[in-house]
Amino acid sequence: MKPLLLIDIDGPLNPYAALSRRRTPEGYTRHLMRPTGWTAGPALPVLLDPRHGEELLALAGRYELIWATTWKDEANEWIGPHLGLPPLPYIDWPDMHGAAPAGTYWKTQYVVEYAAGRPFAWVDDEITERDRAWVGEHGTGAESLLLQIDPRVGLERPDFDALAAWADGRGSG
């Protein structure tokens, strides 16, 4: 069984912090979106690079791709088509932005619960060492790779290389 690749959008695929530079990073296109809950004011600017879709599809041979984002199922409507991705399963968070154990990110406990003992890699801009430690203690022994992505730059070539290498080398070390 393939490991899971749990994919956050804002930060890894949408380097939202780059918007403060008032220029669109090379390779990215700015899209204006109105997902559920974004009803007032100007549309949400989202930066997406179609090469990320190609990279994720290449990883689909090694992983089962899963959205791990607050966009939940709307990722398949608003994000996936711009990246050339088919509809993906998603984590339906029981409680978004709620309390989390031991100072971890609110998603961490639900990521472990969703993985249910399966090996997983997770890309998110909010991951910290506390999350890595908590997953190590509570991850039911499953192998995991937690990649913190800089929300000013998004996923880069070394991140995709690390994901491929981890999937190819799981259990060998």
**Among candidate residues 119, 144, 114, the one with its CA nearest the CA of residue 131:** 144
Nearest to 163 by CA among 145, 137, 149, 142: 145
* CA-angle at 35, arms to 114 and 122, nearest 5°: 30
14-51 pLDDT, tens digit each: 999 998 877 788 999 999 999 988 888 899 999 999 99
For 76-109, write each residue's pLDDT tens digit.
Answer: 999 999 999 999 999 999 888 888 888 899 999 9
- Measured CA to CA, the distance from residue 56 to residue 146 in angstroms comes to 16
Residue recorded with tokens 């801009």: 125
d(CA 98, CA 88): 25
* Cα separation values, 28 from 63, 114, 117, Å: 25, 31, 35
pLDDT at 173: 36
Contact, 123 vs 59, CB < 8 A?
no
pLDDT at 68 over 90: yes
Domains and CATH numbers, the chain: 4-15+49-169 (3.40.50.1000)
- What span, in angstroms and rounded, lies between the C-alpha atoms of 80 and 77? 6
| Cβ atoms within 10 Å, residue 123 | 26
**Average pLDDT of every residue of the chain:** 93
The DSSP code sequence of 127-162 is --HHHHHHHHHHSTT--EEEEE--TTT-S-HHHHHH
Instruction: With 0.75 as the threshold, say if the pTM is over it.
Output: yes
